């Protein structure tokens, strides 16, 4: 994983936010990901139970994709994934002590094969 960032869904209100994860992988691995029927993201929330969400899709039904901000150099491909749902104020993890990190990435329901080599850095939401 290259980078993790919080993206506010409601700009200045800061009550709803997505966590965007930026990855880099081989071209072959990216092709496998593109062919998958589902991508599941397992979040570790400090002080709370793990949450599992599908990766969010971008685009219109027949051309939708899990991946955005895709770029490649012939050998590797960089892309961004985000969860299907946003995190919001007054719903866990809405306190600074509830740091959130991505601990699992699974395709096609295969929970035995975590695609992450390590857990992401933790983020904290600073809701208004």
pLDDT tens digits for range 16-62: 999 999 999 999 999 999 999 899 999 999 988 899 999 998 887 77
Confidence band, pLDDT 50/70/90 cuts, at residue 92: confident
pTM of this prediction?
Answer: 0.88
Between residues 118 and 64, which one has the greater pLDDT? 118
The SS3 assignment for 3 reads strand
Q: What confidence score (pLDDT) does residue 53 get? A: 92
Q: What is the C-alpha to C-alpha distance for residues 105 and 111, in angstroms, rounded to an integer? A: 9
Q: What is the C-alpha to C-alpha distance for residues 63 and 16, in angstroms, rounded to an integer? A: 27
Q: What is the C-alpha to C-alpha distance for residues 11 and 13, in angstroms, rounded to an integer? A: 6
pLDDT, one tens digit per residue, over 52-83 is 999 998 887 777 888 889 999 989 999 999 99
Whether 104 contacts 41, CB under 8 Å: yes
């Amino acid at each position: 994983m290259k980078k993790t960032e919080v993206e506010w869904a409601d700009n200045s209100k800061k009550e709803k936010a997505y966590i965007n994860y930026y990855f880099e992988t081989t071209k072959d691995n990216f092709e496998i990901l593109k062919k998958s029927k589902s991508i599941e993201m397992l979040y570790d929330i400090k002080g709370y139970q793990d949450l599992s969400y599908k990766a969010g899709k971008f685009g219109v039904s027949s051309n939708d994709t899990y991946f955005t901000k895709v770029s490649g150099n012939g050998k590797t491909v960089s892309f961004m994934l985000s969860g299907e749902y946003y995190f919001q104020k007054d719903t866990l993890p809405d306190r600074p002590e509830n740091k959130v990190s991505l601990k699992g990435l699974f395709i096609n329901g295969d929970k035995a094969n975590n695609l992450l080599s390590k857990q992401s850095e933790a983020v904290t939401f600073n809701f208004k």
